[in-house]
Amino acid sequence: MTHLNPDGDAVGSQLGMFLALAEMDKTVWALASERPPETYDFLGAGRLVITDPAEIHGKPSWIIATDSAEAHRISGDISRFRTDARLINIDHHISNPRYGDLNLVQPDATSSAELVLRVLKEAGYTPSQAVAKCLFTGILTDTGCFRFAGVNSGTLLVAAELLDTGFDPSEVTIPLYEEYPLTRVYLERIMLERIEIHLEGRLVMSTLLNQDFAALDAKLSETEDLVNRLREIRGVEVGVLVTALPDGMTRVSLRSKGLVNVSDIARSLGGGGHRRAAGIRTELPPAKVKEELVAAIGRILADSPSEATSSTYN
């Protein structure tokens, strides 16, 4: 299992664990409420993900959730198995309440994929190329290709170990970063056009509306990591992308350079995540969410004035 609206680490961790267990001759299913986004078709194994729990025969004795910060964020209906199976929670979100019967929650790991590899190795498993590609995908996407805070020599050593299985890394990097669909570029253009500068340039927000996706025939999954473009602006402490979803809910993606702990802010509005990357799904309308965020982030930044804010923006 992994989380709803899966990102690269979610898909990579789930498929990596799934393929490895299959290679170890375990009876295993990969279940989710939806197939992984097309972006990850290059991993191949995505087509093995089932969406109907009725396809699972017998009584699984274990459920493994990877990269899911909370039990209710797990994608796919596990309720019918929950009484017989024990739940293993493998994750690196600091907000994870350790909802499993067994928990491997390590907030200092830069990806869940790294933790999946650690568990598999403990079990005596040596990664195949197929599994290594899945886990490498998780590491690349959750570290912004080794750029984000938290990356250390350990991260690179894990990546090196995966590459030593012999796959060509361009099989991962090209589909992930060199082949964006045009619709994503258009979404990015809309996001950039709608930039709102707050708190003297230290908070940048933008909004995508349901109509934008309809007009472009774009998918929500195509916005993955677009919000990073907002954080990477000089002087910005927090970048926020607010997306109005078709079901009337509002999705908020927050990225921080580190001064503001966006995991705390997300939690105060019913979400969760990491210090520098967090998300919220809320019933509040976009305008209201933005108002709350300006207030909350403004309170934090008021305590840490920056010298650089006086003249850059007005």
Number of residues that bind Mn ion (CB under 5 A): 4
67 or 200: whose CB is closer to Mn ion? 67
Task: Quote the tokens at residue 125.
Answer: 């498993």
62 residue type, one letter? W
Return the CA Rg of the chain. 20
For 296, the enclosing helix (H) or strand (E) is helix 286-302
67 or 212: whose CB is closer to Mn ion? 67
Q: Which of 119, 143, 142 is nearest to 131 (CA)?
A: 119
89 or 112: whose CB is closer to Mn ion? 112
Interface mask toward Mn ion for 112-151; x: CB under 5 A: x-----------------------------x---------
67 or 237: whose CB is closer to Mn ion? 67
C-beta of residue 81 within 8 angstroms of C-beta of residue 172: no
- Interface with Mn ion includes 222 (CB under 5 A)? no
Query: According to CB under 5 A, which one of 6, 9, 18, 300 is a site residue for Mn ion?
Result: 9
Question: How would you class 299 by CB atoms within 10 Å of its CB: exposed for 0-12, middle for 13-18, buried for 19 or more?
Answer: exposed
Task: Quote the tokens at residue 232.
Answer: 């990477």
CB of 272 to Mn ion, least distance (A): 12
Q: Which of 173, 237, 232, 249 is nearest to 199 (CA)?
A: 237
Q: Which residue is nearest to Mn ion (CB)?
A: 9
**Residues 224 to 283 in contact with Mn ion, rule: CB under 5 A:** none
CB of 93 to Mn ion, least distance (A): 7
Segment near Mn ion (CB under 5 A); pick from 59-67, 101-109, 121-129, 264-272: 59-67
- Euclidean distance between CA atoms 162 and 264, whole angstroms: 33
C-beta of residue 182 within 8 angstroms of C-beta of residue 150: no
Q: Which of 119, 118, 161 is nearest to 136 (CA)?
A: 161
Segment near Mn ion (CB under 5 A); pick from 5-13, 114-122, 225-233, 255-263: 5-13
12 or 46: whose CB is closer to Mn ion? 12
C-beta of residue 67 within 8 angstroms of C-beta of residue 92: yes
Segment near Mn ion (CB under 5 A); pick from 15-23, 66-74, 160-168, 190-198: 66-74
- Euclidean distance between CA atoms 276 and 173, whole angstroms: 23
CB of 9 to Mn ion, least distance (A): 3
199 or 278: whose CB is closer to Mn ion? 278
Query: According to CB under 5 A, which one of 14, 49, 67, 273 is a site residue for Mn ion?
Result: 67
CB of 278 to Mn ion, least distance (A): 12
- Euclidean distance between CA atoms 85 and 83, whole angstroms: 6
CB of 160 to Mn ion, least distance (A): 20
Q: Which residues bind Mn ion (CB under 5 A)?
A: 9, 67, 112, 142
